[in-house]
Structures are given as structure tokens and as C-alpha cells.
Chains A and B, each alone.
Chain A
Amino acid sequence: MMNKLLKYECIAVGRILVPIWVGTAVLSLLVAVTERMNQSFDSLVGTPVIAMVASFLQVLTALFVAASLVVAFVVNIQRFYKLLGEQGYLMFSLPAAPWQHMAAKLLCACGSTVASFLVIMGCMGLYITDTDSMVREPVKIQLALENLGITVFLVLILVLLMVGMYLYLYLCIAIGSRWPQQRLLASIVTYFVLGFAAQMVFIVLMVVGGIIIGNLPQGALDSINQFLLQLSFTTPGSLWPVGGAVVLLLFVLADGILWAVTQYLISKKLNLP
């Protein structure tokens, strides 16, 4: 059932995104061609025309690049919003569990966002010349074997952030749907209220943590310092993986909480308009 839901989700999202991706690719190709023509005919008559066309295409490409990301984000959020609207009468009548609807939407949202990034990177690769070393060099350094660990860590963090971002918006929409007459307004208000509440909780936790550490006996603080120093001396570089794993776990935990609450709301408290 999950595969079928995913299939229809991808078709619905692809119907809008694929033309934008194709447009971005075609425009990037045209930019690359006009750029090279501009360089080749640099000293010949007529260059301003080519330069003007190249500039126009660059602006258009930039718009398509922006659209690839913005539309991917908006369409996916809109899909979830519609699920809790009138389309929910059709979708929740299908023999699939609510979590499957949510998972299909989330997978498609993340997949299409990543695909948009890849399309943009691929398109940029078309017109970035060898002289653009300021772009190519950092990428080469990041992908070098010795930096692979940190690269994987950063990619995982980005993926978890993306998942968290979508889940947070899903949660706001699910809470907003508790007020069927003013769903959109309620979802937007929830977005700000929840965001403010989360910040307050974070600040309180930081303050409480600071107070606890500040009141620890000197002996305990010395022991912690000694342990960390010992760890960094005995197994050099071991603090990074441990710290990284803790950060990743915190992100997974946050995403898990967002998932669980949203799933509870759409399975136990579904309230279609």
C-alpha cells in the first residue's frame, strides 16, 4: 500500500516539478552555450547582443533555480494541507493506515527537495568553467577521503534538518486542522506559537543547564575535565565522533517527537472540514 501511495504522491508532485526541472536544465544549457559564444567572440562585432542574451538567460535561469526549490517546498506542504482538507475524504477512505499517508508524503517531500538540489547542482555544473575554482575547489576538498567523515555528518544533519522542517510544518497543519473553519489561519498561528514555545523551552533548558553546571562541586567539574582531556589524549580525534553522534541523536529524537505527535493527531484526532 505504501508503494502505491508513494507512486501517486510522486506523480502528483512530479507533474509540477518536472517541467520546472526541465526548464532549469534547458536554460542552464543555453546559458553555458551563450557564455562560451560570448567568450569566443569576445573581440568581434555583435558581442553586446550575445552578452545581452546571455544576461537575460542568466536572470531567467536564476528564477528557475529559485522556483525549483520554492515550488518543491510549497507543493509538498500544500499536499499535506490538502490531505487534511477535502481530499482527505478520498485519501483516508483508501485502505491505508494514516501513518502510511504521512510517510509517503514525507518521503516524497524529502526526495523531491533533494532532487531539486541535485538538478540545480547539475545545471550549475554545466556553466561553471574551469576558471571558477572558487566553486570547484571547496567541493573537491569536501569530497576528499580525509574529509569524508565530516561530509557524511554534514549531509546527515542536513537530511535530518529537512525532515524536521517538513515534520514541523506537518504538525502545525495537523494542529491547525483542529479548527476546520479557519484551518490556514490556525496553522500559521500554530507555526509561530510552537516556534516561540520551542525557543523558550530551549532557553530555559540552557539556563537550567548553566545553573546546574555552575553549582556543581569543583571536584565534579575537575573530574569531567580530566575525563575529556584523557579521552582526547588516549584516543585522539575521538571527541568529534562522540559529539557528532550525540548531535545526530538529538536531531533524530526531535524528528521522532514531531512524527509521533503528528501521527497521533491524524490517526486519533482526525477532523476533516
Chain B
Amino acid sequence: MMQAIYQAKGLSKQYGHKTALDNVSFEIFPGRLVGLLGPNGSGKTTLLKLSAGLLRPSAGHVFIGGQEPGVATKTITSYLPDRMALPVEMRVDDVVNLFADFYKDFDMVKASHMLADLKLDPRQRIGTMSKGTQEKMELCLTMSRAARLYLLDEPLGGVDPAAREYILNTILRNYSEEAAVVISTHLVEDVERMLDETLILKEGQVLAHRAVDELREESGMSLDEYFRHVFRV
């Protein structure tokens, strides 16, 4: 039987008195493209930060490849934060070299091709790029790894529709069948066509974790319609 690449067991996270995640449990298997959906403040970013080892859970556990987040899981997890984290003073080739130095699974050729597609000069400083280009570059670096788990936090946030298309195609073209991809977003319509599964969070709890086709069949709605229906104010 196939082993889950990702397991969350009774995962909770509290910030003071505020509960961001409440007893969340689910599994993700290799080869699946999972949409982590939910409105703002539903716990998506917290879940991904816990998975990337940037936060410690208040209760429960996360296992990636059978291990709790740490140095070992970071070697097999490729994480794209929801903000620009690349040092603006560095040049394109410096950052590429940094990724190549730290990640054994980093594919330099793939990265060079993707960055060439973006028409980036290797000597260009990151700080001189537009916000959209910075985000695309960050995504290219994240997807240039042959990781076993990709955690993409709001890769479509704040970019124009043309850039969204580029980003989604980049994700689809660059992940392997053995890897699982978790994409957090609230732009459901944009990602619906590419998802295998959806994990919907509501107020820190798992509202649904289903195959997208199953959910469409049962609800008689598209994922986007279902999302709007559930979260209608």
C-alpha cells in the first residue's frame, strides 16, 4: 500500500487565545495535487508554516515522509511562502547558486531555463524586479527542485490573470508524479481544473477533504460554486 507523504494528526495551533487550527487530521499521498482552500483567516498559511517547520504546533503532529518537520523534512519539502522572501540585495545567479548549494534536489538546468523564459538577466538584482517578476522567480526556484512535497502558499495572490496562467502552467509542468503538491488559495476558479483533491478549511477545522470529482458529483456544483455556497456571508 502506498505510504502517505504527509500526515497531520490532531494538529492544533493557537496564537494566544486565538485558535488558528483546531484538531486537524488528514493525509496526502504522492502524485496528488491538493487545493488547500478556505477564506482569509481559515488557517491555510498556519497549516503550511507548521508543515514547513516555521512554526511549532500547540498540539498534535505533522509527519512528512514519516518524520516531524526539521532539517530532514526540509530536504524533501519545497516551500513557497505567501510573501517575497528572497534577499533583495542578491542577484539572480546568487540566489540560484544558493538554492543549488543547499538543496541536493535542485535542478540548475531547469531553473536556468525557467528564468530565461522570464527574460531575467543573471546579474540583475532582485530588488530591481517588479513584484510580479519577483514572485514568478520565487516560484521558479521552488519548482526547480525535485522535492517529494511542494507547499505553495498563495502562489496566485496579487498577480494579474496572465501571470496566474504562467504560474499554474509552471506548477503543472514541473512537479513529478511521485510528488504531492499542496496549493493554498482562495482563487478557486483558477485552480479548479488542475486539482485532484481539495482540503477545505473553515475557522481552523477541516470542512471537507475529498477528491474534486467526487465533490462535484455529490454536490452537483463546480468546486468554485461549492466554495461560494459554503462561505456565502
Contact = CB atoms under 8 A, between A and B. Distances in A.
Q: Do A and B bind each other?
A: yes
Interface of A: 1, 4, 7-8, 11-12, 15, 82, 86-90, 92-97, 268-272
A98 to B, nearest CB: 10
Contacts of B79: 89, 93
Contacts of B2: none
A272 B71 contact: no
Contacts of A15: 89
Contacts, number: 60
Interface in B38-97: 49, 52-56, 70-72, 74-75, 77, 79, 81, 83-87, 89-90, 94
Dominant SS among interface residues on chain B: loop
Interface stretch (B98-106, B111-119, B189-197): B98-106
B102 A94 contact: yes
Given A95-B72, A95-B102, 9 more contacts: A86-B84, A89-B81, A92-B52, A93-B52, A95-B75, A96-B71, A270-B56, A271-B55, A272-B49
B87 A12 contact: yes
Contact of B71 (A4, A89, A97, A270): A97
Interface residues of B, number: 26
Contacts of A82: 87
Nearest to B52: A93
B89 A90 contact: no
B86 A88 contact: no
A8 B102 CA distance: 11
Nearest to A268: B56
A15 B125 CA distance: 13
A93 B79 CA distance: 7
B89 A94 contact: no
A15 B103 CA distance: 24
A92 to B, nearest CB: 6
Contacts of A12: 87, 89-90
